[in-house]
Amino acid sequence: MKLKLALLIIIAGASNILAQDPHFSQWHSSKLTLNPSLAGANGCMNADVTYRDQWPKLSGYYKTTLVSWDQYFKKLHGGMGAYFMYDEAGGKFFTSRAAIAYAPVFKLLNEKLFIVPSVEFAFQEKKIDWSSLTFGDQIDPKRGFVYNTLPDTYKTKSDIFDLSTGLLIVANHFYAGFSAYHITKPDEAILQGTHNRLPTRFTFHAGYTFGGNDSSSKFSVTPGIIYVIQQDFRITLPGIKACYRNFSLSFAYRNEDAFIVATSFRLKWINLGYSYDYTVSKLYNSSTGGTHEIHLGVSFKNKRANGLFLKNMGL
């Protein structure tokens, strides 16, 4: 009974942490995790790898790797995208997610207005490394941790199928989007006899690009905002991105959590990016080590797609 109670407390605490989906500071390079409607939004074929190392000085660190692809297809009248994400929390909890998305593009008013709904199907697996957890009944007064506390009936993972959706509206250089991930709230409980519904994550994002009116434009500025709600978890992320030729510099602030500085450089079809989150919460940056995020991407333009939102969204 004591063991089961201890496990329930641990799982309950972990559920509050794991109920928060991983998020990225460089959303332009991890756009499929923001809104599936962004698949193929810049009219190019894109392949991206992003790695995020959050709070490296803490034992409860978070490491997330994202590999994604998206492309606009004229025959499909929209974009397709797919990604694989692997998230590690504290070396004890692990999440793997594979997803595919389709985003049809509706062009209105002589292609001055774009409306892009979307749907995403995903398979997700969560694991717990029980061997990394310790309990009081494992301890021998003389020999230390020697006893096996877990029966063979305890599961080490949960597998779920997931459904998400999104909407994107682009008019001239203004864009606004909405997404809802985990709309079916699948049960990802690991302990038998318990239930742990994955809460729906709602995201709103909008922005406006100044400059960059045509392919010869060298400079553009895009202020924007992202707002995320997932159960009791909230993120408000206003920011601004400036682009000059093949170089970009971004600044953002995540409410009561971090100041973010990001930069990227494009060399022909290769794009390199780096961001740093400076912790401003009660954890202090000197204790957490901040957050490092690096990105490597390749992008090939599709002339038949007419650029779509390439200049409209600062992508």
Q: What is the pLDDT along the chain (315 residues), one digit of tens a residue?
A: 444 444 444 444 444 455 578 889 998 889 999 999 999 988 889 999 999 999 998 877 789 999 999 999 989 999 999 999 999 988 788 999 999 999 999 999 988 899 999 999 999 999 887 666 655 555 555 555 555 655 555 667 889 999 999 999 999 889 999 999 999 999 888 776 778 899 999 999 999 999 876 555 688 999 999 999 999 999 999 999 999 989 999 999 999 899 999 999 999 889 999 999 999 988 888 889 999 999 999 988 765 554 455 444 555
Cα dihedral value 124, 64, 297, 314, nearest 10: 90
Where in the chain are the domains?
2-235
Compute the distance between CA of residue 237 and CA of residue 251 in angstroms, rounded to an integer. Answer: 10
The rounded distance, in Å, linking the Cα atoms of 10 and 179 is 31
* Beta-bridge partners for 73: 78
Q: What DSSP letter does each residue of 126-141 carry, written as one string?
A: EEE-GGG---GGGEET
**Burial (Cβ within 10 Å: 0-12, 13-18, ≥19) of residue 142:** exposed
- What the block records as the tokens of 101 is 């998305």
